Amino acid sequence: MNKLFTLRKPIHFISLSSTNDYALKQIKTENVIEGTVFIADFQSKGKGQSNNYWESEPAKNLLISVVLCPKFLHPSQQFDLNKVISLALYDFTKDFIKDESVSIKWPNDIYINNKKVGGILIENIISGNLFEYAVVGIGININQSVFRSNAPNPISLKNITGKTYDLNECYMVLADFLEIRYSQLILGQQNKIHSDYLNSLLYYNTLSNFRKNEEIFSGTITGVNEFGKLLIKNNDNIIEDFDFKEVEFLLNHSF
């Protein structure tokens, strides 16, 4: 496909507190060009979703932040950006693990079976109606064998295949998928993006168990609305929407 967008040559650091924090600081102090990429071998304060720590041993995994300026999106369309970044990580993971075990766990975790191989933390800078910057933080577990933090279910590509990967080559593959998927967004291919996202979603159209507060219920994921809320049809055939953290997946451990 024609790429309308290319990433710049990455700026590499041996160690940073967080590539996202570094990118945000740069944006505040100078003019950062769209497509700028910061990569670190190690982060002392790697940020995960919900203020969690993102664990990564030095020089074992991909830790990157990409600066985007999605001014063509209205801030209310933020979830479209989330979809294309999730799809790029999904495409990347599928490139190494060529089977059905790879999926996107809503909203933006990359799973192999019931374990998390990659995560995304997008931090947006919005002024009024203008989507000025998105700092797209991406962590993908590549060569780390043992995870020590209390992250619930981490896994790496190496855990699955037993192989050790060249991180520069991995980055090149990821960059290609990011360019392709972000180009789709620039081209306004929202329908394709949406159907690819749904078709990659863990437990899509599958009766599954969820927990909201203390209550366990079964239901079927029927979609995701334009604001990124998860749509679950319950046993009474009523479709309810859920915000991030409002509902927890009870992962199927029968793999």
Interacting residue ranges for ligand BTN, rule: CB under 6 A: 18-20, 43, 46-49, 52, 54, 63-65, 109, 119-121, 137-139
Alpha-carbon distances of 69 from 48, 74, 130, 253, rounded to whole Å: 22, 12, 10, 40
Output the smallest distance, CB 244 to ligand BTN, in A: 11
Q: CA-to-CA distance for 55 and 47, rounded, in angstroms?
A: 9
Pick the closer one to ligand BTN by CB: 118 or 219: 118
In 3D, which of 98, 119, 254 has the Cα closest to residue 161? 98
Q: Tell me which residue has its CB nearest to ligand BTN.
A: 119
Cα dihedral: 72, 74, 139, 229 (round 10): -140
Output the smallest distance, CB 110 to ligand BTN, in A: 9
Output the smallest distance, CB 51 to ligand BTN, in A: 9
Pick the closer one to ligand BTN by CB: 19 or 144: 19
Residue showing tokens 């985007």? 68
Output the smallest distance, CB 189 to ligand BTN, in A: 25
Pick the closer one to ligand BTN by CB: 63 or 142: 63
Pick the closer one to ligand BTN by CB: 138 or 221: 138
Pick the closer one to ligand BTN by CB: 137 or 219: 137
Pick the closer one to ligand BTN by CB: 46 or 70: 46
Output the smallest distance, CB 22 to ligand BTN, in A: 8
Output the smallest distance, CB 145 to ligand BTN, in A: 18
Pick the closer one to ligand BTN by CB: 51 or 237: 51
Q: CA-to-CA distance for 69 and 62, rounded, in angstroms?
A: 22
Output the smallest distance, CB 137 to ligand BTN, in A: 3
* Three-class HEC string of 124-177: EEEECCEEEEEEEEEEECCCCCCCCCCCCCECCHHHHHCCCCCHHHHHHHHHHH
